[in-house]
A and B are shown apart, each in its own frame.
Chain A
Amino acid sequence: MNDKRFKIAHREALIGIVLVIINFAIWFGFAYGLGSGDPKEYTYIFGFPAWFFYSCIAGTLFMILLIYVVIKFFFKDVPFDEEEDGEHK
């Protein structure tokens, strides 16, 4: 029936989708925003072209940090087994 755990699960699944959208936006925005010009005129950060640094390196590190924070503060522990929740059918 309307298992309480499902409300949590639904919310967390939505968070997953939002995270992918953010991830895509960072990845796409920096890559094609900074990388579309003439490669000979790129600026470099730590030896990497700026688009690559922000999109693939900084963007990835940011996502990992974001995922860590989201898990720590928004994800709830729920029991998976039937006998522990006492509320079925």
Chain B
Amino acid sequence: MHWHVIIPLVIFLVIIFVIGFWANKHVMQSNSFLQEYFLGGREMGGFLLAMTMMATYGSASSFIGGPGVAYNTGLGWVLLSMAQLPAGYYVLMVLGKKFAIIARKYKAITLIDFLRERYQSNVVVIVSAFSIIIFLFSSMAAQWIGGARLIESLTGLHYSTALFIFAVVVLVYVIIGGFRAVALTDAVQGSVMLIGSIILLIGTIIAGGGITNIMSDLVAENPKLVSPFGADGSLTPLYVSTFWILIGIGVIGLPQIAVRAMAYKNSKSMHSAIIIGTIAIGTVMFGMHLTGVLAHPVLPGIKIGDKVMPLLTLKVLPPFLAGIVLAAPMAAIMSTVNALLMLVSSTIVKDIYLNFIKPKASDSEIKKISFLVTALIGIAVIFVALKPPTLLVWLNLFSFGGLESVFVWPVIFGLYWRKGNKYGAITSMIVGLSSYILINQWWPNVFGMHTVTLPIVFSLISYVVISLLTHHKFKEFKHII
């Protein structure tokens, strides 16, 4: 037990809790429960939007898995991780004002609402809901496991006890507070991530005796650690470049990110969110991954990558600061989990229950169902996480790529291309999903590219071809965009 470390962590958890209860007041008073619970009443300002984007996007892999890989791979991994910089501005610029305007016109609350109105197709709704539930559920489990492991390693508690503590905190504030609680806690969590990564970077540089010193230690051990190709030369330019598709531009297809692009208040908050978000994502990604590399000479010989970050923090920082820094990965995990939880629950309540099962449900019924569904999903994830699969980063990236292959073209073309229609969207979603799963199983990294590249290309081609073949059937939808 490291008590000095645990106290800041506990304070952090208490703050998060209080925000949940505060947000619950809004939920109870709101006259549009769905809009408030699942979108926070579309009132997010620039700072909040930027932080919630960053916190949702930055997950266990940015704070635990990523630095661990960087530790073994060297500066090449930092180069790769900087492909994430566009996630801060590109999504908001491209979805941008048009998405915000149209989402309001459609009164859309979820990404699926938008797709349903745009394509007027139940098949689109079902395929979307199916992929969101499957992929985000596995992604949530991965994050949950990361959170429990972190508490386990810091407190010495048993894994299942740690999982229970972690899960209860997250579930309570998400269930009672809804999206507003998620966004507000994201702002706190995002700030903690930002500050934590800066403190740790500085602490590590000091412990290593300065950058120049650390770099020469790295060169002495293996010169390739400071090259863009990675310690074993496996990071080829083609492979690293195709990461831009996965963690940069494909991010538009992530429902948990896209839904944030319809929650902001006005165009001013969108503008400041772009600037703040880019700075925040740039700082956290650069800081954490560089820290992982610099940790190599400071703390040599760590076998399990996931332990680099917690061990490093305890070694280079005084206990109280270590507590603040270790709250950062916890924040990253919580803020990702809460967004996913919200999204899966809105998919089930809004897109399945209200669409197909009971369209005329009253407000109080919806309220009850929303609370219940959110709680049930959360508990189901706990059970999966109790017997955890090992590869945390892999699970997480699996869901990224899968969702992107499904959604990226239906969303982009849905906004910007009049000829795009439901046949194109359905084909593209099915082609994207199945080719991603097949390629991931049988030929990962075909031709030296990241697995997600080909499915995205295939789904692009099928969307365009099928839409062009069938667009003459759809005269009446053209007014929409």
| A residues apposed to B, CB below 8 Å | 1, 3, 5-6, 8-10, 12-13, 15-17, 19-20, 23-24, 27-28, 31-32, 35-36, 38-40, 42, 44, 46-49, 51-52, 55-57, 59-60, 63-64, 67-68, 71, 75-82, 88-89
Contacts and interface: CB of A to CB of B under 8 A. Distances in A.
B266 A80 contact: yes
Contact of A47 (B101, B215, B241, B249): B215
Given A20-B249, A82-B104, A40 B223 contact: yes
Nearest to A77: B267
Determine chain B's interface SS by DSSP, over half rule.
helix
Given A8-B97, A19-B93, A32-B228, 17 more contacts: A12-B96, A20-B249, A28-B241, A36-B228, A40-B219, A47-B211, A52-B75, A52-B79, A56-B82, A64-B282, A71-B275, A77-B271, A78-B267, A79-B266, A80-B100, A80-B104, A89-B479
Contacts, number: 136
A9 B97 contact: yes
**Contact-residue size bin, chain B (C-beta under 8 Å from the other chain):** 35 or more
Task: Kindly list the 10 A-B residue pairs having the minimum CB-CB distance in the complex, ordered from nearest.
Answer: A16-B93, A47-B211, A39-B223, A9-B98, A9-B97, A47-B212, A35-B228, A39-B227, A31-B228, A16-B94
Contact of A56 (B215, B241, B279, B286): B286
Interface of B: 75, 78-79, 82-83, 85-86, 89-90, 92-94, 96-98, 100-101, 104-105, 210-212, 214-215, 219, 223-224, 226-229, 237, 241, 244, 248-249, 266-268, 271, 274-275, 278-279, 282, 286, 416, 479, 481
A46 B211 contact: yes
Would you call the interface of chain A mostly helix, strand, loop, or mixed?
helix
Given A44-B212, A46-B211, A20 B90 contact: yes
Given A5-B101, A12-B93, A52-B75, A60 B85 contact: yes
A78 B92 CA distance: 15
